[in-house]
Amino acid sequence: MFAWLGGLMPREEKFFGLFEEHAGNLVSRADALRALLDARVPGEKSCERLAEIDLQAKRTAAKVMDAVYGTFVTPFDRVDIKHLVRSIDGALDQMRRAARTVTVAGVEDLAPDIQSLGHIAVNCACLVKQAAPLLSNVDKHANELGEICTRIAAENEEGERLLDRGVAELFRNGNGDAIAFIASHSVYQELGFVVSRLDQVGDQIQNIVINHV
């Protein structure tokens, strides 16, 4: 009802820089996870890198929350901002859990579908980063944001397909090694959660568009 009034009031531009910063944290963590899955970085070093990103991400999220509670006029609904940041935090946390699972499980010769899930995570994170600066003018960029969210959803669907195929392959070719089966299945499961969490970020961006336009 009062959206027109909000449009006449000055906005806090610092929010948009923080959104872009947090999306950058998402891409950094997805890149670190992919490097681990592609065996380009040892597990311990990957976990160290993820811990560094985690510290930066927490700082950024705290800045956003401080701005939400300390600013009279926000660029869009405060609840939407909090949901967006929390969805990004959830994706970041899930990527760290997935990396820990890969390292602890000690699965060697990761299946191509597992590595592909890592690449999908990077694709989704990059799409979120692409969307972040567009949030500075949702009215103008509504169509672009909608297209980005559609692409994230498509990546999620591909991730679900790879997950189903990979797990089915495990059942067919388990070779009776229960421990290896459980380890590989856990990796698939955690990576599936990563892609799902990133899809939820896309959903939150779509909600902002729907509620704002």
Domain ranges of the chain: 11-212
Cα–Cα distances in angstroms (integers) from residue 85 to residues 45, 48, 64, 190, in the given order: 27, 23, 8, 21
Residues 102-112, mean pLDDT to the nearest whole number: 80
Indicate the pTM of the whole model. Answer: 0.86
Q: Which parts of the chain fold into alpha helices (H)? A: 3-8, 14-37, 43-70, 78-105, 112-131, 138-172, 178-212
Q: Which of the pair, 184 or 49, is modelled with greater confidence?
A: 184
Residues 44-67, mean pLDDT to the nearest whole number: 76
Rounded Cα–Cα distance for residues 204 and 212 (Å): 12
Measuring CA to CA, which residue among 42, 19, 151 is closest to residue 89?
A: 19
Measuring CA to CA, which residue among 46, 20, 144, 136 is closest to residue 99?
A: 46
Q: Write the DSSP string, 45-85.
A: HHHHHHHHHHHHHHHHHHHHHHHHHH-SS-SS-HHHHHHHH
Q: Model confidence over 114-127: pLDDT tens digits?
A: 999 999 999 999 99
Say what the alpha-carbon torsion angle 183, 185, 191, 195 is, to the nearest 10 degrees: -170
Architecture of domain 11-212: Up-down Bundle (1.20)
Q: What is the band of 59 on the pLDDT scale with cuts at 50, 70, 90? A: confident
Residues 94-108, mean pLDDT to the nearest whole number: 85
